[in-house]
């Protein structure tokens, strides 16, 4: 399969096949799948500011969506740092 690089916006009338990487702007229709991690395996928060992830044990052992503030991974429900316990 060929690879093409665009410098401007790209529009698809029938969706995209496979993973979409990079920044997504505009409207997103349908389900969004977040990358899944455990607390012990999350990437560095410093290099992932404004990123959303799903942490399977980040709410005291329960699953939670979290975001990086550039320093910590914070739970979306309470804004507390993720924690396995």
What digits encode the pLDDT tens for the residues 1-34? 577 788 877 777 777 777 777 777 778 888 888 9
Phi, psi of 41 (to 5 degrees): -115, 5
Structure tokens at 6: 């665009």
Residue-wise pLDDT tens digits, 42-69 = 999 999 999 999 999 999 999 999 999 9
Sheet holding 36-37, edge to edge: 36-37, 52-59, 62-68, 73-75
> Residue 57 has what pLDDT?
98
pTM assigned to the model: 0.73
d(CA 18, CA 76): 27
To the nearest whole percent, how much of the chain has pLDDT over 90?
A: 60
**DSSP 3-state of 25:** coil
d(CA 81, CA 17): 34
């Amino acid at each position: 399969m060929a690879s093409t690089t665009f410098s401007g916006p790209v529009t698809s009338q029938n969706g995209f096949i496979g993973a979409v990487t990079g920044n997504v702007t505009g409207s997103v229709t349908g389900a969004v799948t977040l990358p899944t991690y455990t607390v012990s395996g999350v990437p560095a928060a410093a290099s992932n500011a404004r990123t959303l992830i799903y942490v399977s044990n980040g709410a005291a052992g329960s699953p939670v969506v979290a975001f990086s503030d550039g320093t910590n991974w914070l739970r979306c429900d309470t804004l507390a740092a993720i924690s396995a316990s």
